[in-house]
Amino acid sequence: MVADFTILVGTIGRGLSVSHDGGKMWRRPTPMVADSRVYEVHADPTNVKVVYAGTDNGICKSEDGGVTFKQMDNVLNDQWVWRIAVDPVDPDIVYAGTKPPFLYRSKDGARTFQKLDCPWNPVFPLTGTDRIAEINRVTGLAVDPIDHNIVWACVEADGVRRSLDGGETWINVNPNLPGDMSFDYVDMHDLAVSAKPNKAIIVNRNNEILVSTDEGETWEAAGAGVDKWSKPFLRNVALSDRGKTIFVGTGDTATGFEGGIRRSNDRAGTWEDLDLPIEPNTPIYGLATHPMLPGVVVAGSRHGQIFISKDNGDWWVKSKREFSELRRGMAVVPN
């Protein structure tokens, strides 16, 4: 039954909240500390009981569908974990991305992690004399659902990297479009790998969506520029139906006052704005789907409004509960 699912929402400063009845009642799992910063919540695509949370103090793991979480004691302790990805073929392989921007891999279900050799620019590039250097962070991680040896990562201000050997080695595959050498050229916010109808890599850049069908060798812009969308700021991307349908969260600016959700049913060829019950109070920063929950999409605004759809985005309801500030930290899993 599609209504029988769990929603997990991670916030900046108020920890993690979980609803086991599709968004009606909420509680905090134990022993998550109430004032944790939870940047990421990621569900194992093969095991509905396993969920990971990336916090400002490392990585936590649930093996009971979000009822309880255990702090994993490893090299990520005291690090800010911004992104997590689970290998869909071997779920004991878990990747984590941090701030400052480093990549790690576990081969034992997050008990231990090894730091990977994937160099990034540690700070945002300075584009003006009055700009203050800001620490970079990993903003996207994905394992190819067709060939799990291919892994993708991006950071907020240094572009895209690709590994063809399960994270052992990485190369720079920054989308290089003609005449495009602005800061936006490397300002990446999220990525995903679509398996259907044939494979494509989808990257959300600051004000554009980029698509590659040749493993990142070449990229095409999908036409989401400032002059084409009323809310051109893009923060995240989520897929359903193995990637045939794409959802993106939008906003007027990075820290603005308006948000929205756009959907494409033809892999970024055309887009439509989805009707939400109210205008979101800030850009949409969180989107969550799960391969075992066809039709279920959950979205969250930066300032904590939660929207839920059970029909692939045609109709939405707003949760009565609102939360403090969130990043990408959202997941949905079957009960």
Residue-range domains of the chain with CATH: 5-334 (2.130.10.10)
**180 pLDDT exceeds 60?**
no
**254 pLDDT exceeds 90?**
no
Q: In the Cβ-directed half-sphere of 264, how many Cα atoms lie within 13 Å?
A: 21
What share of the chain in percent tops pLDDT 90?
Answer: 71
Q: pTM for this one?
A: 0.94
Q: How far apart are CA 30 and CA 9, in angstroms?
A: 14
**117 pLDDT exceeds 70?**
yes
Cβ partners under 8 Å of residue 42, min gap 6: 51, 52, 53, 54, 83, 84, 85, 86, 331
**49 pLDDT exceeds 50?**
yes
CA torsion through residues 196, 202, 84, 328, sign? negative
* Cis-peptide into 122, omega within 30 deg: no
Confidence of residue 243 (pLDDT cuts 50, 70, 90): confident
Q: What is the mean pLDDT of residues 266-295?
A: 94
DSSP structural state of residue 12: B
Residue, of 234 and 299, whose pLDDT is higher: 299
* Cis-peptide into 29, omega within 30 deg: no
Beta strands in 56-185 (DSSP E): 58-62, 70-71, 80-86, 94-99, 103-106, 114-115, 138-143, 151-155, 159-163, 171-172
Confidence of residue 182 (pLDDT cuts 50, 70, 90): low
**184 pLDDT exceeds 80?**
no
Strand partners, 220: 211
Is the distance from CB of 61 to CB of 68 less than 8 angstroms? no
Looking at residue 215, its amino acid is: E
Q: Give the mean pLDDT of the chain.
A: 90
**1 pLDDT exceeds 50?**
no
**72 pLDDT exceeds 60?**
yes
**183 pLDDT exceeds 60?**
no
**181 pLDDT exceeds 60?**
no
Cβ partners under 8 Å of residue 251, min gap 6: 231, 233, 235, 258, 259, 260, 282, 283, 284, 302
